[in-house]
Amino acid sequence: MPENLNAMTLRLQQDVPLAEASLDSALIAVSTLMTSVVTARQRVGVAPKTGQASIMRLAKAQLSLVEVSGDVLRVHGELADIAQETAGLDVHRCPNQAKATGAQLALVA
């Protein structure tokens, strides 16, 4: 495998899982904020309509993050297909899963 292709493959193997994990972290943060806003409204004893616009925006942000996460997961699959076609990599499992089981990516060329 050409050196440049190998370097790009290694970089993508790091960047894709990082992007996926970052989106999960963002979704957790927004969900935590949603919980805090609703809990504060309830504990302070204000009218249920108080903060409703903010809660709706947070719900929209959550949905957007879920959609973006789905798109990144699809990109992950597409990149795995490209790795197979371009570099002949055997990527039946994601690099993190393969690493966890001790398996190594095999070159098929």
pLDDT digits (tens, 9 = 90+) for 11-51: 999 999 999 999 999 999 999 999 999 999 999 999 989 99
What gap in Å lies between CA 27 and CA 29, rounded to an integer?
Answer: 5
What gap in Å lies between CA 38 and CA 45, rounded to an integer?
Answer: 11
Q: Report pLDDT for 8.
A: 87
Question: Which pTM does this prediction carry?
Answer: 0.74
Instruction: Give the residue with greater pLDDT, 89 vs 54.
Output: 54
